[in-house]
Amino acid sequence: MIRYGFTKVFNADFNTTLEAVQSQLSNQGFGVLTSIDLQAKLKEELETDISKYTILGACNPKMAYKAIQAEECIGLLLPCNVVVIEKEGKTAVSAVRPSVAMQMIDNPKLHSVAVSVEQSLYKVLKSIQLSEE
């Protein structure tokens, strides 16, 4: 178990899971600013093979605004990454824990925003209606 994120594993194919994650992110007020197909990028750049691996850069505009009001340079730590990884016929979804990532910044106002974003990201994973491992 990772300390800086939380993970759920689903008995569903990669593409179905990726679509479900994107849908639930939208339902929780997040937009996907970036979608990086790391498998394809590493194949292109290094001619190496890894499992399907997509990094979604998710941003909740209302929360991003609050975070910027609390800490002007917080953009260095945005957006919130969610990764979808194919693992042995299953698909793992992991989301960053903003409360952990923000510990390096001594700003109580920012901490409350981070906790709120983390709760929303947790709801995203909890709301995915696919068979779990």
Task: Supply the pLDDT for residue 132.
Answer: 77
CA distance 105 to 108: 9
The continuous run of DSSP H or E covering 44 comes out as helix 38-46
Amino acid at 61: P
Q: What is the pLDDT of residues 9-23, one digit of tens each?
A: 999 999 999 999 999
pTM over 0.95: no
Collapsing DSSP states into helix, strand and coil, what is residue 10?
strand
C-alpha distances out from residue 102 to 24, 45, 131, Å: 24, 32, 32
Paired strand residues for 39: none
Distance of alpha carbon 14 from the chain centroid: 15
Average pLDDT, the chain: 95
What domains, with CATH codes, occur in the chain? 5-127 (3.30.310.70)
Q: What is the pLDDT of residues 54-92, one digit of tens each?
A: 999 999 999 999 999 999 999 999 999 999 999 999 999
